[in-house]
Amino acid sequence: MEPRQMTDTWKVTLPCTREEADSLSEDGFFISSTDSVPTIVTREADPKTPDDWVIETYCDKEPDPVFLDKICELSPSAKLSDTDPMVEKLADQDWVSMSQAGLEPLRAGRFYVHTSNSAPLDDKAVVNICIDAGQAFGTGHHETTMGCLESLDRLKRLGQGFDNIIDVGTGTGLLAFAARHLWPTAQIMASDIDPVAVQVSAANAATNNIAVGYGYRAIKLETSNGLDHPAIGRRAPFDLIIANILAGPLIALAPQIAAAAAPDTVLILAGLLKTQQRDVVHAYMRQGFRLRHRRVENEWPCLTLVKAKEFGPAKSLKISRSPPASDYFGEC
């Protein structure tokens, strides 16, 4: 790999909420007012306050007022509090590498997730995945993605096999890549509402020597609002569905996900806070799913559900009462 050219760098920092940070990978918002494309990195400000996040934008030209106004649009909460973005000049820096500097490699089950600034582990028992931070959510360095990796690893250790998998809201593609390593002969799709995330996933697949497209063992990438894409409908029903997005979209997508699931389909849900899990689980119980396992990292649960055998497609469900809370918040 050729070294990146050093240049003057400007960093713009703005506080935001976690929901605002996640929305950056959903709306495809292009903030550049110049010919250069900035690098946008979002991170949790403090694990003790999981809703407090920060947007860091790196660019190679001094931000003008139009540029700064557009950045402020990314964080309505900052605008409401009259918080101005902090602008710093970082001279003679490799700013793309610098944006990765705070991302230490991590271990989640058999997976070792690292950036291009860190070496993979020389261990046959470890699955190395290289993911650089950029304009898509899901580097593996947040509790939600880490919880999904641990849950996927757990399913494999329990001896579960899958033939038809989809990762909804794939972000960087990381969870789809993990599924490919765990179930190498499965048919796998990965979708995202943001076309930039799909492009990022394709680039990350190339970095990790994972084929994309329709070929054998290739991951099929699609830009899709939920599961609306016709290609997703043609491949359904899936026997493993992964969705690491926000609680609101998870609840809204429950009927679509249920329609794409067969009896005994395993569903992994993440991106929600502990305070939101009751509403999320309730939405999926109404579609015929039952909670089987819950893993909580700080305030971020990762839920594993299974569609009950007696339930067919979502459109056939007729549930007249809400299940009691004890049905889905007992030990699992």
- Give the residue extent of every domain in the chain: 7-100, 139-327
SS3 track for 211-250: CECCCCCCEEEEECCCCCCHHHHHHCCEEEEEEECCHHHH
CA distance 211 to 214: 9
List, for residues 232-291, the tens digit of each pLDDT value: 999 999 999 999 988 888 999 999 999 999 999 999 999 888 889 999 999 999 999 999
| Cα–Cα distance, 78 to 158 (Å, whole number) | 45
Longest dimension (CA), the chain: 64
Token duo for residue 198: 């799909």
Q: What is the pLDDT of residue 332?
A: 33
Q: Decide if domain 7-100 falls under CATH 3.30.70.
A: yes
pLDDT tens across 112-168, in order? 998 887 888 999 899 999 987 654 444 444 678 889 999 999 999 999 999 999 999
The pairing of strands 52-59 and 86-93 is unpaired
My answer on whether omega of the bond before 237 falls inside 30° of 0, hence cis, is: yes
| Residue 84 DSSP label | P
CATH number of 139-327: 3.40.50.150
Instruction: For residue 235, give Cα distances in angstroms to 69, 223, 232.
Output: 43, 15, 5
Q: Is the pTM of this model over 0.85?
A: no
169 is in an annotated binding site: yes
Q: Phi and psi dihedrals of 126, rounded to 5?
A: -105, 140
Q: Please tell me whether 192 is known to bind a ligand.
A: yes
13 is in an annotated binding site: no
d(CA 231, CA 233): 5
